[in-house]
Amino acid sequence: MQNIKQIAIELFGIKHEKFCYCAGAHELCLECKICRKDLPDQLVQYHEELKLNDYIDYTNLKPETVKEDILSLCELADQYHLKAVCINPYYIGYAAANCKHAKVCTVIGFPLGANTSKVKLYEAENAILEGAKEIDMVINIGLLKAKEYQIIIDEISDIKEICLKKDIALKVIIETALLNKIEIVIACLLAKKAGADFVKTSTGFAKSGANTEDVSLMRHIVGSKMGVKASGGIRTKEIAFEMIKAGANRIGTSSLLVDK
């Protein structure tokens, strides 16, 4: 695969030699929307007594979900001090009213990413009004394949602008199962430059989900100052820990992988 630094230079037309302090494999400063050099490292130092609870986005994105499922999700997330619940937008208000400790995360442009930018912006604004504290957006994968990179940057940047007003974390789903390695590199670089807080592997609706090779690559690309969320097919604690060892600092799962 082509050198990541060279990909970044060609992608953004970088002509300076200004060093990046985020420890990203691109090495040179991307002049990101949000400079992360003073942010704390997001790498998780794995050890045998590490508890998964602090890194779990407990997820229910099934189309057949009913209120009772959301209530159970919130109660269990609070009981085990999980990081967040991740739900479809319809239930944001209900989850916000029933989660006492866990954050409410929702999805926009989900699961295909092919909504217009105006629709995604509206979804983000409405989600925040309803009570969401974190947003997982899906990029337009067709635009990535077509090399329409500026549209992707603008879309992420515009949504991040909305999130900044309320201190909302923005995670960008790149759907790694549909990308080759160079496309994963480019997608991560676009998300980083546009100001996203996390890159995320998967919706859970593609042909496969997270794997440690892709998670490790994503962490290598973005460096230590940006989040990496692994999701899709993570159904055991063993797999979750492998994702953390590979570089994830958030795990999306519909399984209750907790220390009780």
- Which of 103, 133, 192, 229 does the annotation list as catalytic? 229
- Which of 57, 103, 120, 136 does the annotation list as catalytic? 136
Burial class (CB in 10 A: 0-12, 13-18, 19+), 66: exposed
Catalytic residue flag (residue 200): yes
Catalytic residue flag (residue 136): yes
**Phi, psi angles (nearest 5°) of residue 142:** -60, -40
How far apart, in whole angstroms, are the C-alpha atoms of residue 231 and residue 182?
Answer: 20
Residue 137, both tokens:
């957006």
- Asked if 207 contacts 216 with a C-beta cutoff of 8 angstroms, the reply is no
- Which of 103, 200, 214, 225 does the annotation list as catalytic? 200
| Contacts by 256-260, CB closer than 8 A, 24 or more apart | 256/58, 256/76, 256/80, 257/52, 257/56, 258/52, 258/53, 258/56, 258/80, 258/82, 259/51, 259/52, 259/53, 259/80, 260/80
How far apart, in whole angstroms, are the C-alpha atoms of residue 197 and residue 227?
Answer: 6
Catalytic residue flag (residue 229): yes
> To 10 degrees, the CA torsion angle through 36, 144, 106, 213?
-70
Active-site residues, by number, are 136, 200, 229
